Amino acid sequence: MNVIEALRHHVRMRPYDLALVHPGGSLNFLQLAGTVASAAGKLRSQGIGPGKTAAIYVNDPHVHLVVALACMLNGTVTISAHPNYDPIPPGAKIDAYVVDRAVSHAAQVPSVHVNPAWLGDLAPDAQGSLAGPGFPDEQAVCRMYTSSGTTGVAKVIGHTTAMVESIITRSVMLEPLNHGPNLSMMWYSTIGGFTTALGTLWHGCTLVTATAPLVVLRYINLYKVKFLRVSPQQLQGLVDLVRGRPVRFPSLERIEAGGASTPQPVVLAARAILCPNVVGIYGSTEAGMVAQTPAALMYAQSDAAGYVTPKVTVRIVDDAGQAVPPGTEGHIQIRTPDMADRYIGDPEASAAAFRDGWFIPGDLGSLSADGLLRITGRADEMINAGGVKLSPVLVDEFLMTQPGVRDAATFAYRQPGRADQVWAAVVCGDAFDEQAVLAAARARLNSRAPVRIFRLDEIPRNAMGKPMRHQLAQDAKAT
């Protein structure tokens, strides 16, 4: 079964149940199916049909989702651009762009311009029949994503209809997505954002779409949202908006934070202000969900990625690829039921990341005998400061405990023939005292303390919320 088949079923069983809430209004399942069917027909008339690949550059979440579902009905592979409108990596061959504004790098490829008015001009299929060619079989790629790009080079991952189904059905056991309403602040370009949307509709629940923090907070209470998916930075933004205000969110039953580690102060504040049930998620676009962390463990052990979920295998190996004993740090390797096995159009990167049925994410960590996975850093981000090796995450976590520090990202400042220097970028408030923070770091971290701090208005992060440390290092060299 794919999501289109699920929508057909819900049209028959619950046509007037609320399916989608968006800033411009709402749709029941019959209305959503009719809009998707009409959009699919209009896209087919403009050359976006079976066997094609379309890149979606649309920042209205309602329009974006309808276009993506319409392309699925048409058998068109889709890839969603990040909200900053970056080019799609060269591994993906794009046949058409669906855009809400001019996109310079799409000039040589056919484009369809869409917006809420474009949807409003459709004549919805009153029967919600959802007739369309679809994909030829369950092993056909139906969706593509780009990797997080923390190394500076994003890669393209393809998901088949079977993989999408596996990810969603496995979520029934791992996430309470089947009772809604659900809201994800993660954008559709991420696996978390897109599968939350598909999984919610798949289960016949209400999907609430919003990305602006103030709108999200208002919609949580207005539409009784029960499940919220966010990145750690989005969660911190929500906490900052609510802190000190007499508001509560009684409908919220669960918050999932994924894409990066969540600072301990954010976990504590989110549990007190938003919802006591905060869960950390560790996974990747290539492998899906790998581990989950309960809130108490997130707060008590900052490097805990969580307990490995059922049907997932994780092993830790040394530099030679040999398995190490429980609790020993090494290179993480992963095997899941719905993992990819290659990057599209990039055989060199594929050979490095996919070996003998294992995915190698580049993370360092350890696995306890009872299945608790800890992440101690990334192999390509480790800082070697004159023989002292450290993970920048440890310095980030310390800096986030200092007065006036709102966000932080540590990185290696490298010069030829010299040891790495520990530098840090911070986003700070009025209470920030640079010399006091540096002194506190030296007292706590010794030789692992940053030797220089520079201030930014915002830490550059990818769509999953991970800091772009390579970009910070490049920017530092240019200053």
Write the pLDDT tens digit of every residue in 9-49.
999 999 999 999 998 899 999 999 999 999 999 999 999 99
- Cβ burial of 476 (10 Å; 0-12, 13-18, 19+) is middle
Q: Which range has the worst mean pLDDT, 61-70, 348-357, 408-417, 444-453?
A: 408-417
Residue 173: per-residue pLDDT: 65
Mean pLDDT value across residues 457-464: 82
Residues 88 and 74 sit within 8 Å (Cβ to Cβ)? no
- Measured distance CA(431)–CA(456) in Å, rounded: 15
Mean pLDDT in residue range 422-444: 91
Residue 227 one-letter amino acid? F
Asked if 332 contacts 379 with a C-beta cutoff of 8 angstroms, the reply is no
Q: Which residue has the higher pLDDT, 263 or 314?
A: 314
**What is the per-residue pLDDT for 189?**
92
Which positions ≥6 away from 477 have C-beta within 8 Å?
413
Using alpha carbons, select from 265, 193, 17, 27 the residue that is nearest to residue 125.
Answer: 27
Question: Nearest-CA neighbor of 349 among 381, 380, 382?
Answer: 380
pLDDT tens sequence across 98-145 = 999 988 888 789 999 998 889 888 877 777 789 889 998 899 999 999
pLDDT at residue 150 tops 70: no
Please check whether residue 434 lies inside any domain of the structure.
yes
In this structure, which amino acid lies at residue 163?
Answer: M
Please count the CA atoms within 13 angstroms of the CA of 250 that sit on its side-chain side.
1
The whole-angstrom distance between residue 466's C-alpha and the CA centroid of its chain comes to 9
Same domain membership, residue 424 and residue 366 = no
Q: Which domain holds residue 407?
A: 383-478
Q: How far apart are CA 256 and CA 231, in angstroms?
A: 8
Query: What would the pLDDT profile of 57-101 be if each residue is shown by its tens digit?
Result: 999 999 999 999 999 999 999 999 988 888 888 878 999 999 999
pTM comes to 0.84
Residue 453 has pLDDT above 80, yes or no: yes
Where residue 174 falls among pLDDT bands split at 50, 70, 90?
low
* Spatial contact of 391 and 429, defined as CB atoms under 8 Å apart: no
- Helix residue ranges per DSSP H, 96-210: 116-120, 161-174, 191-202
One domain, residues 357 and 442: no
Is 330 found in the same domain as 310?
yes
Q: Please name which of 419, 371, 370, 424 lies closest in space to residue 396, comparing C-alpha atoms.
A: 424
Do 354 and 413 fall within a single domain?
no
Q: What is the DSSP pairing of strand 388-390 with strand 363-367?
A: unpaired
- DSSP 3-state assignment of 75? coil
**What number is the average pLDDT over the span 358-373?**
94
Strands (E), 252-371: 254-258, 278-284, 288-294, 304-308, 313-317, 330-335, 354-355, 358-359, 363-367
- Report whether 312 contacts 290 (CB < 8 A): yes
Peptide bond into 337 cis (omega under 30): no
Looking at the fold, whether 14 and 49 belong to one and the same domain comes out as: yes
Q: What is the mean pLDDT of the chain?
A: 89
Model pLDDT, residue 92: 86
Report the distance separating Cα 250 and Cα 226, nearest Å: 9
Q: Give, for 453, the enclosing helix (H) or strand (E).
A: strand 452-455
**Which residue type occupies 48?**
I
Q: Is residue 378 part of a domain?
A: no
Which of 333, 351, 373 marks a domain boundary? 373
Distance CA 259, CA 275 (A): 19
Enumerate the β-bridge partners of residue 227: 182, 254
Q: Is residue 291 part of a domain?
A: yes
Whether 130 is in a domain gets the answer: yes
Asked if 208 and 286 sit in the same domain, the reply is yes
Query: What pLDDT was estimated at residue 464?
Result: 66
| Residue 215 and residue 244 in one domain | yes
CATH number of the domain that 473 lies in?
3.30.300.30
**Residue 432: predicted pLDDT:** 92
Residues 106 and 248 in one domain: yes
Amino acid in the structure at residue 301? Q
Residue 356 burial by Cβ neighbours in a 10 Å radius (0-12, 13-18, 19+) = exposed
Is-contact 67 55, C-beta < 8 A?
Answer: no
Residue 447 structure tokens: 């030789």
Residue 269 lies in a domain: yes
Does position 1 have pLDDT exceeding 70, yes or no? no
How far apart, in Å, are the Cα atoms of 280 and each of 9, 228, 230, 284, 289? 33, 12, 10, 13, 11
Write out the two tokens for 220: 């949580």
Q: Are 89 and 156 in contact (CB under 8 A)?
A: yes
- Per cent of the chain over pLDDT 70 is 95
The pLDDT assigned to 215 comes to 94
pLDDT score, position 106: 80
Nearest to 2 by CA among 98, 74, 59: 74
For residue 202, is it within any domain?
yes
Residues 341 and 405 in one domain: no
**Same-domain status, 416 and 368:** no
Residue 26 included in any domain:
yes
CA distances from 326 to 92, 282, 366 (A): 39, 19, 7
Could you tell me the CATH number of the domain that includes residue 106? 3.40.50.12780
Over residues 309-338, mean pLDDT: 94
* Count of domains forming the chain: 2
Residues 415, 296 share a domain: no
Judgement on whether residues 260 and 301 belong to the same structural domain of the protein: yes
260 closest CA partner among 375, 167, 432: 375
- pLDDT higher than threshold 70 for residue 148: no
In a 13 Å sphere around the CA of 59, the CA atoms on its Cβ side amount to 11
Neighbours of 10 (CB within 10 A): 23
Please tell me the distance from the alpha carbon of residue 161 to that of residue 397, in angstroms, as a whole number: 39
319, 344, 373 - which closes a domain: 373
- Enumerate the H helices of 245-378 as residue ranges: 264-273, 295-300, 347-353
Predicted local distance difference test score (pLDDT) of residue 154: 79
Does any domain span residue 244? yes
Q: Which residue has the higher pLDDT, 130 or 415?
A: 130
Query: Of the residues 347, 373, 399, which one is the last residue of a structural domain?
Result: 373
Q: Residue 149 — pLDDT band, cuts 50, 70, 90?
A: low
